[in-house]
Structure 1
């Protein structure tokens, strides 16, 4: 049972992120886990909520890009600290490749997604940022994954995503592709229909449910 409210944890974590206090952020995360041993809840209720707020503060020029990058780096470091806490279910003999849209610089969200796949017993191939679509195509041919997961944090990269998916669909018409990320909070419905045949996952709970159906 969580002694403090989720909102308190999230707000405290956000405050320490903005102060650049990694040790305190780590302590808050570990305290949460001691009260609620669900990595998925921690990621969704604390990390994701705090980082989305950091993104909003950056977009509205209330914090610098340096502070935004620091918040992301701190959280990614804590994900690495907590990796040993993942309780993996029965292995599924399924592969997923995880990457970001070309030109994206933020990989912490897709890293959390990778952990949810691992918890569900998948073999994960986390590529992170900076992978050109030509290299991604080559790697997909090498590994033959069941799913490709793509993250987009900045809506400015939407047309890049559309072009990327066009290439992937031509090369791999039967490959399951899922999308997620903060950028989709600002999506325009008309534009989104251009890639309506792609699965959009709004949060880690939806992802977890989806993985139990495929």
Structure 2
């Protein structure tokens, strides 16, 4: 209930663009004993999703969405160093996002939470192209490539990247995870597009990414060229 009340106040302050009020609300929550990781997952993340929904439904102005995203990001930057730190482990994740502010915020928060959990995370943001991504993962060799916040118009580029990765087959143990954007709204699209995993939230992304290989959910394909066995090491898609 307390978090619900805080979210209502925080959302109102965001939509009016009141940076000082937003900072004060978050500081009050911290002073009341709310952990930074709870603020990430229970306040800022759901508000970020709600702002996106309001914007897509034309219930807020583009300027309100832009200001809210920037305020959220400034709050996240301040909270990052307050997150708990688990011992570092040799698990690596690379996060690439769509180029809009909302997507970059979601990707940054996800990276922060992966690092808090002990992962090594590299956040590429939304300014890299597919060739840049391929070059980076070739050198970094991540366990997970997480693509966040892409919309329907950007889905073909996501599919092209996945197809290229399958064709090259240089990283057979790397799992591709999708999150946010159109994949949150279109059920099963992540499977059809050729990804291995899907997560609705950052917390779920960490939980799924941390599962043993034998416990990972198997994607269900209905498009023939994307059907491949859960444990197969062979490429399953062809480049269009």
Shared fold, TM over 0.5 = yes
Whether contact under 8 Å (1:116, 1:204) holds in the other structure is yes
Identify the residue that residue 202 of structure 2 maps to in structure 1: 204
Comparing both chains, which one has the higher relative contact order based on Cα–Cα distances under 8 Å and sequence gaps of 6 or more?
1
- In the comparison of the two structures, how many residue pairs are matched? 209
| 2:138 counterpart SS class | helix
Residue 26 of structure 1: how far off its partner (Å)? 1.6
Distance in 2 (alpha carbons) for counterparts of 1:112 and 1:134: 24
Question: How big is the shift at 1:36?
Answer: 4.2
Q: Are 1:178 and 2:177 an aligned pair?
A: yes
For the aligned residues, what is the CA RMSD?
2.1
Deviation at 1:180, TM superposition (A): 0.9
Unaligned runs of 5+ in 2: 213-240
1:205 deviation in Å? 2.9
2:125 matched to 1:128? yes
Whether contact under 8 Å (2:146, 2:177) holds in the other structure is yes
SS of residue paired to 2:176? strand
Deviation string for 1:111-137 (max 9, x for gaps)? Answer: 111011111111211111121010110
TM-score, scaled relative to structure 2: 0.78
User: In structure 2, what is the equivalent of residue 97 of structure 1?
Assistant: 94
1:213 is matched with 211
**Aligned position for 1:74:** 71
**Structure 1 residues not aligned, in runs of 5+:** none
Larger Rg: 2
TM-score of the aligned structures, taking structure 1 as reference length: 0.87
Question: Hey, what's the Cα distance between the residues in 2 that align with 1:18 and 1:45?
Answer: 18
Measure the CA separation in 1 of the matches of 2:107 and 2:69: 12
Q: Does 1:143 align with 2:158?
A: no
Q: Distance in 1 between matches of 2:181 and 2:195?
A: 20
Question: Alignment partner of 2:96: what SS?
Answer: strand
1:99 to partner: Cα distance: 1.1
